[in-house]
């Protein structure tokens, strides 16, 4: 099956390991990803702050590329997915925008989770798992934009989403229930109010520690970057050690599928998950 692929800027930069592990996992499932030719930035968390037209126009131009290919489009980054989907909805409601971007809405905009959490694919993930992630206690962390605004993102449940839980369960991991699945890590103010973001991230990390999770798992590149890169600062500020690996779901698929590239991906993390996974006999 063919799906068009919108990696977005972050996946070509600081979230390269998400791009590579996503492509690898999709390939394993028999999905052919066609990268949108010459895609451009969706405007992410900034366009809506500065200009109403650009908020829709930037992602709309990418929707037009997907429409030309005639394929559903998947955007692994939660922010890209939200922007593309919000643009599709706005175009459908606004004649002026429709005249400029004749997007017919016949193709679907999928989130990475939605693509993998489909019932048949979860069964396939289970089948493909050569190295079940036994004994690995993980907390699924969805963050904000994977579930909100619910009327745009359309998650299975905005307060207690289960898509990632199901995927992790199929891979054989021990999915730990915790209360902060969809709490905000503060990512959008990472550079501008780092002090505030450290507090919000610390709250999540503390809870992960309290429920004795070995690792946090996410699909959002902003959450991952934020939680992974700030643990050293938080350790320094608090005087206690924070060293919880923050993994992408698709990286764990790589572990379960015995993909040898996992070590390259893990090399990009600030808090390396290698020691943990080796101690559980998983790599």
Partner 1 sequence: MQQTGSSTRSGKVAPPSGELASIVNQCYQCGKCSAGCPVAPEMDLLPHQMVRLAVMGDVDRIVQSKSIWLCLTCHTCGARCPNGIDVPALLDPIRHQILRGNIETREPQVPAFHNAFMKTVRRFGRVHELSLIGAYKMKTKTFFDDMKLGWEMFRRGKIHIMPHSSKRKAEVRELFNKSSMK
Query: Which residue ranges make up the site for partner 1 (CB under 8 A)?
Result: 9-10, 12-14, 16, 38-41, 43-55, 57-58, 61, 94, 96-97, 144-145, 147-150, 158-159, 183-184, 186-189, 191-194, 196, 200, 229, 232-233, 267-270
CB of 9 to partner 1, least distance (A): 4
Number of neighbouring beta carbons within 10 Å of residue 95? 8
Inter-residue contact 213 to 192 (CB < 8 Å):
no
CB of 67 to partner 1, least distance (A): 15
CB of 182 to partner 1, least distance (A): 8
- Our CB check for partner 1 shows the closer of 175 and 234 to be 234
- Our CB check for partner 1 shows the closer of 116 and 266 to be 266
Q: Rounded CA gap, 253 and 132, in Å?
A: 10
CB of 127 to partner 1, least distance (A): 33
CB of 83 to partner 1, least distance (A): 12
- Our CB check for partner 1 shows the closer of 94 and 177 to be 94
Backbone angles phi, psi at 167, to 5 degrees: -65, -45
Angle between helices 249-256 and 119-128 (to 10 degrees): 40
Where helices occur in the chain by DSSP H, the ranges are 8-12, 16-28, 47-50, 52-69, 78-93, 95-100, 112-117, 119-128, 150-153, 163-170, 194-210, 221-229, 231-238, 249-256, 262-266, 274-279
- Our CB check for partner 1 shows the closer of 191 and 260 to be 191
Inter-residue contact 205 to 234 (CB < 8 Å):
yes
- Our CB check for partner 1 shows the closer of 132 and 194 to be 194
């Amino acid at each position: 099956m063919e799906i068009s692929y919108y990696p977005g800027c972050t996946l070509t930069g600081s979230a390269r390991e998400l791009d590579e592990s996503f492509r690898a996992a999709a390939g394993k499932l028999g999905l052919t990803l066609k990268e949108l030719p010459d895609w451009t930035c969706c405007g992410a968390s900034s366009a809506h702050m500065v200009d109403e037209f650009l908020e829709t126009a930037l992602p709309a131009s990418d929707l037009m590329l997907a429409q030309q290919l005639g394929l559903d489009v998947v955007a692994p980054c939660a922010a890209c997915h939200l922007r593309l989907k919000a643009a599709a909805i706005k175009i459908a409601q606004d004649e002026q925008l429709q005249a400029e971007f004749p997007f017919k809405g016949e193709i679907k905009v999928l989130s990475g989770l939605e693509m993998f959490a489909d019932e048949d694919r979860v069964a396939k993930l289970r089948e493909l798992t050569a190295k079940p992630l036994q004994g690995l206690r993980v907390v699924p962390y969805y963050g904000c934009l994977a579930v909100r605004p619910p009327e745009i993102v359309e998650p299975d449940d905005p307060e207690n989403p289960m898509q990632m839980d199901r995927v992790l369960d199929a891979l054989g991991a021990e999915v730990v229930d915790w209360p902060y699945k969809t709490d905000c890590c503060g990512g959008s103010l990472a550079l501008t109010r780092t002090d505030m973001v450290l507090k919000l991230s610390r709250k999540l990390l503390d809870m992960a520690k309290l429920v004795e999770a070995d690792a946090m798992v996410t699909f959002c590149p902003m959450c991952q970057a934020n939680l992974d890169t700030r643990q050293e600062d938080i350790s320094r500020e608090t005087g206690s050690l924070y060293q919880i690996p923050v993994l992408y779901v698709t990286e764990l698929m790589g572990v379960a599928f015995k993909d040898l590239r996992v070590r390259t991906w893990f090399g990009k993390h600030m808090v390396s998950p290698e020691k943990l996974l080796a101690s559980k006999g998983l790599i």
